[in-house]
């Protein structure tokens, strides 16, 4: 992947998003808008040219799965439609590397706004996390809009959204007694999901904010439940 024309951008934005995800929500005007057990969802109300682009940051703690497993299922095109309910169609239009793909997605229409599509690169990587006392690796998937002349945004049918999303996962293991193998009961995964979706064209602010408030908590709960269910009878992917 390192010789691909997009690689410098992919590398830079992935690392920027990792830093952004690890910033706390204490400063920067984040407001808690949804809570469900360990899941806390924050947003900032921001508009760009009158369009709602509210950044979202969700923090969650999931027991019994590793960060590698969470990122594997989030990244994998093969299982995307099993958990992703906001999408009507998904195509991989370019394989840059086995950990870097370009997706074209048609999203379900949010009435009365017109239907949207998104075209983005998606990159997964493991980041050694030395400065964390538990010394556990961090896994990240970063999705960021990109252009492709073969798939112009002015295709007439959909409005092209621009998005930047990252899923940052850190695994914590409560070591069992000496010589006892680690089971899923000893594993906890701390995840931070950040997203900024620019609708790319007019959409009613009140409708969007209501949809985001309802859909994002559902989206994250559904995804995490999916990963737990997929992993429960499989060997642990550290």
Ligand X SMILES: CC(C)(C)c1cc(CCc2ccccn2)cc(-c2ccc(S(=O)(=O)CCO)cc2)c1
Residue 88 touches ligand X, criterion: CB under 6 A: no
Go through 72-105 and write b for each residue having 16 or more CB atoms within 10 A of its CB, e for each that does not.
bbbbeeeebeebbebbeeeeeebebeeebbbbbb
Per-residue contact flags (x/-) with ligand X for residues 149 to 168, judged by CB under 6 A: ------------x-x-x---
Residue 52's closest CA among 194, 158, 210? Answer: 210
Structure tokens at 231: 């992993």
* Cα dihedral 98, 163, 12, 4 sign: positive
Which of the stretches 7-15, 59-67, 79-87, 183-191 binds ligand X when contact is defined by CB under 6 A?
79-87
Among 60, 68, 107, 125, binds ligand X (CB under 6 A): 107
Q: Please, are residues 1 and 11 in contact by the beta-carbon 8 Å criterion?
A: no
With contacts defined by CB under 6 A, how many residues of the chain interact with ligand X? 23
Residues 145 and 127: their CA atoms lie apart, in Å, by: 22
How far is C-alpha 103 from the geometric centre of its chain's CA atoms? 14
Residue 143 touches ligand X, criterion: CB under 6 A: yes
Residues 50 and 154: their CA atoms lie apart, in Å, by: 20
Which of the stretches 24-32, 56-64, 175-183, 191-199 binds ligand X when contact is defined by CB under 6 A?
191-199
Site for ligand X in 114-133 (CB under 6 A): 116, 118
Among 86, 204, 217, 228, binds ligand X (CB under 6 A): 86
Which of the stretches 16-24, 31-39, 107-115, 129-137 binds ligand X when contact is defined by CB under 6 A?
107-115
Binding region for ligand X (CB under 6 A)? 84, 86-87, 105, 107, 110, 113, 116, 118, 143, 161, 163, 165, 195, 197, 199, 203, 208, 211-212, 215-216, 219
């Amino acid at each position: 992947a390192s010789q691909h024309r997009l690689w410098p951008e992919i590398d830079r934005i992935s690392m920027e998003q990792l830093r952004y995800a690890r910033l706390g929500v204490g400063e920067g005007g984040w407001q808690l808008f949804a809570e469900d057990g360990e899941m806390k969802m924050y947003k900032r109300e921001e508009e760009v040219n009158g369009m709602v682009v509210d950044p979202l940051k969700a923090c969650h703690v999931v027991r019994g799965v590793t960060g590698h497993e969470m990122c594997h299922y989030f990244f994998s095109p093969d299982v995307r439609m099993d958990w992703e309910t906001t999408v009507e169609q998904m195509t991989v239009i370019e394989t840059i590397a086995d950990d870097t793909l370009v997706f074209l997605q048609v999203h379900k229409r949010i009435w009365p706004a017109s239907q949207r599509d998104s075209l983005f690169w998606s990159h997964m990587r493991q980041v050694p996390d030395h400065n964390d006392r538990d010394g556990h690796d961090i896994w990240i998937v970063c999705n960021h809009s990109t252009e492709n002349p073969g798939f112009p945004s002015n295709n007439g049918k959909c409005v092209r959204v621009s998005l930047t999303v990252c899923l940052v996962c850190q695994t914590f293991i409560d070591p069992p007694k000496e010589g006892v193998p680690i089971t899923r009961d000893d594993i906890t995964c701390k995840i931070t999901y950040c997203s900024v979706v620019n609708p790319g064209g007019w959409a009613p602010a009140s409708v969007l904010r209501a949809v985001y408030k309802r859909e994002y908590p559902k989206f994250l709960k559904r995804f995490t439940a999916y990963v737990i269910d997929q992993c429960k009878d499989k060997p642990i992917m550290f």
